[in-house]
Amino acid sequence: MSEKKNLSQIEKIKTASDGLRGTLNESLHDEVTGAMREDDQAVIKFHGMYQQDDRDRREERAEKKLDRLYTFMIRLRLPGGFLTPEKWIAVHEIAGENSTGVIKITSRQTLQLHGILKGKIKPTIHSFSEAKLDSIATCGDINRNVLCSSHPKQSPIHEQVFAYADKISTMLMPKTKAYYEIWLDDEILVDKKEEVDPLYQDRYLPRKFKIAIAIPPNNDVDVFANDVGLIAIIENDELKGFNIAIGGGLSTTHGNTETYARLATIIGFADSEEKTMKAVYEIATIQRDYGNRSDRKLARLKYTLDRVGVDWFKEELEKRTGFALAPAKDYTFTDRKDYFGWQQNAEGLWYYTVFVENGRILDDEKVALKSALLEVAKTGKANFRFTCSQNLIISDIKESDKSNIQNILEQFAITVYTDATSIIRKNSMACVALPTCPLALAEAQRYLPSLIDKIEALLNKHALSDEEIIIRMTGCPNGCARSYAAEIGFVGTAPGKYNMHLGGDRIGERLNKMYKENLAEPEILQSLDALFQSYAKDRNTNETFGDFSLRQNWVTV
Amino acid sequence: MLTGPKLKILQDLVGSYSKEELIWVNGYISGKIDTAGTEIALQADTPARKMTIIYGTETGNSKKLATDLATKAKKINVIVKLASLDQYRLTDITKEENLFVIISTQGDGEPPIAAKKFYDHIHHNGFRLEQLKFSVLALGDTSYPLFCKTGEEVDEQLHKMGGKRMVPIKKCDVDYEADAEAWFTEVLETLHNAPAIAAPSIIKTVPQTAVKSNKKIYTANILSNINLNDRGSSKETYHMELFVEEQVDYLPGDSIGIMPENPVTVVNAIIDRTGINKNKLVKYKETEYTIFDLLKKKLNISFLHERVVKKYAAIVKQEIPETKMDLIDLLRIYPAKDATVFEEVLQALPAQSPRIFTIASSHAAHSGEVHLTVEKHNFSVNEISKTGICSDYLAQVKPNDTFEFFVQKNKRFKLPAADKDILMIGPGTGIAAFRSFISERDATGATGKNWLFFGEEHFVSDFLYQTEIQNWFETGVLSKVNLAFSKDQPENIMVHHRLLEHGKEVYDWIASGAYTYLCGEKAPMSVEVENTLLTIFENHGGFSKEAAKEYFEKLKEEGRYSKDVY
Ligand code: SRM
Ligand SMILES: Cc1cc2nc3c(=O)[nH]c(=O)nc-3n(C[C@H](O)[C@H](O)[C@H](O)COP(=O)(O)OP(=O)(O)OC[C@H]3O[C@@H](n4cnc5c(N)ncnc54)[C@H](O)[C@@H]3O)c2cc1C
Ligand SMILES: Cc1cc2nc3c(=O)[nH]c(=O)nc-3n(C[C@H](O)[C@H](O)[C@H](O)COP(=O)(O)O)c2cc1C
Ligand code: SF4
């Protein structure tokens, strides 16, 4: 059974938290600090919040005898990344009132607001709840936001598959009412039996737990980067079921050789909704019971799986579900991308995918995206979908409304902006990193744009500007922008320093490997210049940069 | 032959007198001996007499002295009526026979708020006081240009209205004890010998200069000067750490005084406009200065009092509305004909007043340094943004700069015994005094509990000394902290609202012996806080409105409520 001996601190906090209540109310009433109490900082994660502070301001504030500028980041629960226009307007307004104003699309299809002061958390969650939005379980050792291929044009039955994201998310919700009590002032639950939680019990999972659903041939969700990946098997527009992959996870820790990035292993096929749901549920219970609860660095399902072995895991799963999974079905991924600009789905509804640099929606000198989207939402004629590459799809537009939306997009120069953005930039992403992320070792979203400027020049120089090379950057080895699953990955090691990874494939079925360590910008550009040159010269037809890197043995995978 | 109190009285008397006074006293005593022959003794059996003592106070010194005098008088069977000037029924004055006024000067030569009505009453109502015998004890501070102005004016006015000076006015500097004692004795004695009194005529001729307490001037070397407010704040509050070569004589609760210098730009503007030679030597109050130094270091040239503007108008022979104005503006709008006229103007200008800053440090905790908490005054006069002279100067000083200061003792604002609990209310720069109090109690391991109320505009940018307050709270030096950030929510929440919220506990603390201190802005803050305290006494002490007031008075008398407001 799971290692009872020396449970990690977080484990003790969870079980002692009285259903994730902790001492949150006391923390909220501590007047002298903008922070939560130590243990509560772990507890609020389960409520979808992270305590952060503006790392740019630490030194200066310390000199002023001011405490760190503590604020909170709230992450919404949006299975499949979908919002109605009304909800978008709500988020827009809440962001303006209580947060930095920037609406951040994450690499897991949801939205984050940063910079919320302790005193503003309750009002913020109240407003969200009025708009029927919540942040339950978007962080913490629990099932996270469930992903699904975002673009409806990908399949006539996209909606049917998409519905699974919500069903799974609901199935794996914690039972505690703490969220409603603490943030929404519901009256205190006396009979705690009501919230007995057969899945999470009082200890929850050993670590975060991530689920994604992909609709081939596009692997836009990076399905193999998840603890559980479901690959929809569709035969002549009919959903047959799902291939189930388990044990994906990207994060590593510098200098900790026991940690590694891992792609999920396909363990079989489930041919019905009931079986699929049951399988997913029991995979979670196995991880609950067998995951490592003493060392959080080795607690994800990927380590559990490699410890117990795939065969054992399948047996145990069969025991728990009462059925055996069928052998996996064939499928093929050909892409891992967003379809920018106007697209039409089977029903004839229209979709416009907007390029959102690193998922940050605001009005800046480049483009007034935030205002534009508000205008679009106000028409009430378009839904909003978010992609796993931090972009946004203005969705489900009737033919008759298209010109109306088109006008707004033109009026705010969104179309020009999206069209004018280079292919390389559209295929790149970076994580948040500084100044809010406490774990950041180097810049990411604040730096990548300027690095891309220079890479664009290099590609130009070698006539490679049309190549759909995937570049991803993260400020630390946690890999939040999935830098290990990129053709060119940059992993921050220290301010201005990055490990450069090469050899990942284009569709997310092969991870990259470290090519060079601790590079500063000049070395990065030098290396790329040389690599691009030989790629332009010696590649085979249709050979991707990732595959070429491997053939050249720049790295060995 | 004289012993005990008598001897002391004599010693105090003699010790406190100037040379001229001693000469006079000498004559006076011998005169006494020849007449009645009976020695002056303030015996209990002497026939009863009446006296009324009224006082006008801001920080309580006058009140303390008034009470002392009353006690002394009662001892010798005098029937005493004692009243604060805001309690005193003004119409009674026409009935008074023996009236003794103890009053301080505030602002730039203005009466204490509590005495304003009385002051106006005697100045504006054309009645006579033929029957009145009176004397004035004026409290003041020689570091202010208009030393004891209010006392002088009251003395003058009562005299004008027909009152007889029973004992001449006595002007006291900040260490007023000796002077006051001497005046007491004189008063009681004269009262005792009222009919026999031949003195007045003589007395009036006697010069009554105060014993000037020459304050020690220290030189501060700036160690550091940082703006405590974060970006985006509408405030600028500077925390200054000053190193002083010699041991500075101060206790928590004391303040320092600084003579500000006028900005060179303004001084030059004035010189250019008037065409006067900046190096010309002129005399001002017995001392010679160059025009430049006089304008920069000695004179008050900004926001001149109506009184001064009037004089200016007379000199330049122009009609000027009665309002406060800067000298440069006066010169611009109502120019002085030429340099000579301007020299007249210079003589009419008041000397610069010191600016007082509460000390924010403690010897025990800050190894002899002097720390200040200085808010830069930013304000605008018809759309032109201006800054306060001294605070603007202090906001700009850099490490290694130096300036001079003196210590302004505040006897009425001191920590109680180490085992007593204290309640500190100090929004804004009021926190200065309490940073000093808490540091001191922390460093000396005082056992009493400490409760702090602080307020400002925004938690994020204006929480002055946040990290220090957090440490005191975590280590238990502060057992309670309550904060009010007025602009963090739609409704303006201030410290007095927090007091009210915690009213029950506040009352419990005070009822069980806690000492309460208030420091910071005089109006509206201190007024609101005091009204709130009264409400709390009513709500939780079960007092009637009146009883609550009395309870508050009692606390003040017992020194269990003190304030340092400005
Ligand atoms: C917002 C987001 C990056 C982005 O720019 O989009 C993000 C941001 C953060 N991630 Fe992440 N992660 C995000 C997707 C990912 C992904 C990608 C994915 O899931 O597809 C990964 C790699 C896949 C995986 O899980 O292995 C990822 C692996 C981590 C880890 C490493 C987990 C591990 O197994 O060790 C951490 C650190 C941890 O959990 O201890 C982390 C922690 C964090 C925190 C919360 C830092 C912290 O723990 O305090 C970051 C907050 C920064 C900020 O200020 O917003 N984040 N994080 C993504 C939000 C996803 C969501 O909506 O839920
Ligand atoms: C006992 C005591 C303790 C004090 N403790 C502190 C302390 O700890 N910290 C602190 O910061 N202050 C303290 N003060 C206040 C301080 O002494 C000064 O009064 C304050 O710094 C302003 O002085 P200044 O020379 O900067 O401004 P000034 O030039 O004297 O101006 C003061 C005010 O007068 C008005 N004014 C001036 N010129 C004009 C004009 N031309 N037109 C219109 N209005 C004008 C403005 O309202 C301005 O704010 C204390 C005061 C006292 C009496
Ligand atoms: C803001 C302020 C202004 C003052 N202005 C004068 C003044 O103009 N002239 C003066 O002689 N004393 C002045 N003083 C000194 C007081 O009169 C002196 O401190 C006196 O002891 C106060 O007595 P009280 O406690 O009865 O008010 C001033 C004091 C303060 C705090
Ligand atoms: S990858 Fe590292 S730096 Fe970037 S957001 Fe995630 S934890 Fe922060």
Strand stretches in B57-197, DSSP E: 78-84, 98-104, 133-139, 164-165, 170-172
CA B322/CA B335 separation, integer angstroms? 17
pLDDT at A497 over 60: yes
Assess whether the C-beta atom of A432 lies below 6 angstroms from ligand 1. yes
Alpha carbon distance A391, A353 (integer Å): 7
First to last CA, chain B: 49
Q: Which amino acids bring their CB within 6 angstroms of ligand 3? A: B 57-62, 104-109, 112, 139-141, 144, 146-149, 174, 356, 566
Catalytic residues of A: 75, 144, 208, 210, 431, 437, 476, 480
Mutation test of the interface with chain A: which of B240, B460, B465, B501, choosing the one with the most A Cβ atoms within 10 A? B460
Cis peptide before A85 (omega within 30 of 0): no
Pairing of strands A392-397, A513-519: unpaired
Contacts of A57 in chain B (CB under 8 A): 230
* Ligand with the closest atom to the CA of A441: 4
Mean predicted confidence (pLDDT) in A87-113: 96
Ligand 3 centroid to Cα of residue B173, in Å, is: 9
Report pLDDT digits (tens) over A273-313.
Answer: 999 999 999 999 999 999 999 999 999 999 999 999 999 99
Closest residue on chain A to B470 (Cα): A32
Given an 8 Å threshold on Cβ–Cβ distance, is A119 in contact with B488? yes
Taking CB atoms and a 6 Å cutoff, what residues make up the pocket around ligand 2?
B 255, 260, 302-303, 326, 355-358, 373-375, 377, 379, 381, 386, 388-392, 429, 432, 564, 566
Q: Check if A442 has its Cβ closer than 6 Å to any atom of ligand 4.
A: no
Give the pairing of strands B217-227 and B164-165. Answer: unpaired
Please choose, from the candidates B515, B329, B485, the residue with its C-alpha nearest in 3D space to the C-alpha of residue B418: B515
Q: In tens digits, what is the pLDDT along chain B, a chain of 566 residues? A: 566 666 667 677 667 666 666 655 655 555 454 444 333 444 444 456 899 999 999 888 999 999 999 999 989 889 899 999 988 999 899 999 999 999 999 988 999 988 999 999 999 888 999 999 999 999 999 989 899 999 999 999 999 999 999 999 999 998 899 999 999 999 999 988 765 333 333 333 344 555 666 789 999 999 999 999 999 999 999 999 999 999 999 999 999 999 999 999 999 999 999 999 999 999 998 899 999 999 999 999 999 999 999 999 999 999 999 999 999 999 999 999 999 999 999 999 999 999 999 999 999 999 889 999 999 999 998 899 999 999 999 999 999 999 999 999 998 899 999 999 999 999 999 999 999 999 999 999 999 999 999 999 999 999 999 999 999 999 999 999 999 999 999 999 999 999 999 999 999 999 999 999 999 999 999 999 999 999 999 999 999 999 999 999 999 999 999 999 99
As given in the structure block, the two tokens for residue A493 are 């090691």
Residue A435 preceded by cis peptide, ω within 30: yes
Backbone φ and ψ of B481, nearest 5°: -135, 130
Q: What is the DSSP letter of A349?
A: -
Query: Per the CB < 8 Å rule, is B481 touching A32?
Result: yes
Of A31, A69, A117, the CB nearest to B481: A31
Closest residue on chain A to B488 (Cα)? A119
Instruction: Find the B36 Cα to ligand 1 centroid distance in Å.
Output: 102
The one-letter amino acid at B241: E
Amino acid at B113: I
Residues A220, A335: Cα–Cα separation, whole Å:
7
pLDDT band at A6 (very low <50, low <70, confident <90, very high): confident
And the tokens for B281? Answer: 């030597």
What's the CA gap between A116 and A183, in Å, rounded? 14
Beta carbons within 8 Å of B281's beta carbon, 6+ residues apart: B288, B289, B290
Out of B461, B465, B482, closest to residue A31 by CB: B482
Which residues, including other chains, have CB under 8 Å from residue A90's CB and lie 6 or more apart?
A127, A128, A130, A131, A133
- Amino acid residing at A41: Q
Query: Do B465 and A65 make contact, defined as CB atoms within 8 angstroms?
Result: yes
Q: Which of B225, B229, B230 to mutate to test the interface with A (most CBs of A within 10 A)?
A: B230
| Ligand 2 atom with least separation from CA of B408 | 1
Inter-chain touch B466–A67, beta carbons under 8 Å: yes
In a 10 Å sphere around its CB, with 0-12 CB exposed, 13-18 middle and 19+ buried, how is residue A103 labelled?
buried
- Residue B60: the pLDDT is 86
Ligand 4 centroid to B145 CA: how many Å? 65
Cα distance between residue B541 and residue B543, in whole Å: 5
Q: Do A32 and B230 touch (CB under 8 A)?
A: no
CB-based contact A65 B470, cutoff 8 Å: no
Contact B470 A66 (CB under 8 A): no
* A107-143 tens-digit pLDDT: 999 999 999 999 999 999 999 999 999 999 999 999 9
Mean predicted lDDT score pLDDT of chain A? 96
Can you tell me the distance from the alpha carbon of A153 to that of A340, in angstroms, rounded to the nearest whole number? 12
B524 prior amide bond cis, ω within 30 = yes
pLDDT band at A270 (very low <50, low <70, confident <90, very high): very high
Residues in Cβ contact with B523 at an 8 Å cutoff, skipping those fewer than 6 apart: none
Closest atom of ligand 4 to A438 CA is 8
- SS3 assignment, position B457: coil
Tokens at B193, concatenated = 């010998």
**By 3-state DSSP, what share of chain A in percent is helix, strand and coil, each rounded to 5?**
40, 20, 40
**Taking 90 as the threshold, does the pLDDT of residue A457 lie above it?**
yes
A172 pLDDT band (50/70/90 cuts)? very high
Q: In degrees rounded to 5, what are phi and psi of residue A341?
A: 80, -160
Strand positions, DSSP E, A35-191 = 49-53, 70-75, 82-83, 103-105, 111-116, 147-148
What distance in Å separates the CA atoms of residue A266 and residue A244, rounded to the nearest whole number? 6
Alpha helix locations (H) across A17-77? 24-29, 38-43, 58-63
Considering only the beta carbons, identify the residue of B463, B483, B488 that sits closest to A66. Answer: B463
End-to-end distance of chain A based on CA atoms, in angstroms? 34
Task: Mention every residue, 6+ apart, whose C-beta is less than 8 A from residue B91.
Answer: none
Reading the block at residue A306, the tokens are 């490699």
Other beta carbons less than 10 A from residue A206's beta carbon: 30
Cα A488 from Cα A248, distance rounded (Å): 20
Contact criterion met (CB below 8 Å) for A365 and A372:
no
CA of B377 to the centre of ligand 2 (A): 7
ipTM here: 0.89
Please determine, for residue A423, whether its predicted confidence score (pLDDT) is greater than 80. yes
Are A288 and A199 contacting, i.e. CB atoms less than 8 angstroms apart?
yes
Centre a 10 Å sphere on the Cβ of residue A303 and count the other Cβ atoms it contains.
22
Q: From CA A294, how far away is CA B321, in angstroms rounded?
A: 82
Amino acid at A475: G
pLDDT in tens, A372-390: 999 999 999 999 999 999 9
Spatial separation of the C-alpha atoms in residues B440 and B425, rounded to whole Å = 17
d(Cα B9, Cα B203) in Å, to the nearest integer?
Answer: 20
- Residue B478 carries which DSSP code? S
Other beta carbons within 10 angstroms of residue A275's beta carbon come to: 20
Q: What is the pLDDT of residue A1?
A: 44
pLDDT of residue A194: 81
- Ligand 4: which of A114, A390, A431, A501 to mutate, most ligand atoms within 8 Å of CB? A431
Residue B200, pLDDT score: 38
Amino acid type, B358 = T
How many CB atoms are closer than 10 A to CB A259? Answer: 18
Residue A399: CB atoms within 10 A of its CB come to: 10
Angle at A10 between CA A6 and CA A15, to 5 degrees: 90
Query: Residue A44: CA atoms inside 13 Å, Cβ hemisphere, count?
Result: 27
Ligand of minimum distance to the alpha carbon of B253: 2
In this predicted structure, which of A3-7, A175-179, B158-162 has the lowest mean pLDDT? A3-7
Residue B454's DSSP bridge partners are B483
SS3 content of chain B, % helix, strand, coil (to 5): 40, 20, 35
**Alpha helices in B161-299, H assignment, sequence order:** 177-192, 199-205, 264-274, 291-293
> Residue B396, Cβ neighbours under 10 Å: how many?
12
The two three-digit tokens of residue B18, written as one number: 């100037």
Exposed (0-12), middle (13-18) or buried (19+): which is A507, by Cβ within 10 Å?
buried
Min Cα distance B470 → chain A (Å) is 6
Of A28, A32, A54, A57, which to mutate for an interface test with B (greatest number of B Cβ within 10 Å)? A32
Cβ-contact B439, B362 below 8 angstroms? yes
The token duo for A222 is 């990076």
State which H helix or E strand residue A214 sits in.
Answer: strand A211-214
Question: What one-letter code names the amino acid at B303?
Answer: F
Structure tokens at B388: 């306060």
Calculate how far, in angstroms, residue B457's C-alpha sits from the geometric centre of ligand 3: 30
Q: Which residues of B touch A (CB under 8 A)?
A: 226-230, 239, 459-461, 463-470, 473, 481-483, 488
State the distance from the centre of ligand 1 to the C-alpha of A383, rounded, in angstroms.
Answer: 26
Q: How far is the CA of A481 from the centre of ligand 4 (A)?
A: 8
The minimal CB distance from B226 to the residues A31, A63, A69 is found for A63
The per-type count for chain A, helices as H runs and strands as E runs, is: 18, 20
In terms of CA atoms, which chain A residue is nearest residue B228? A64
**Mean pLDDT for the stretch of residues A244-268:** 96
**Whole-number Å distance between alpha carbons of B64 and B70:** 10
Q: Report the amino acid identity of residue B454.
A: F
Residue B474 CA, chain-centre distance (Å), reads: 36
Please tell me the predicted confidence (pLDDT) of residue A2.
Answer: 46
A309: alpha, beta or left, given left = phi > 0 and alpha = psi -120 to 50?
A: left
Q: Is the CB of A438 under 6 A from ligand 1?
A: yes
How many Å lie between the alpha carbon of B466 and the closest alpha carbon of chain A?
5
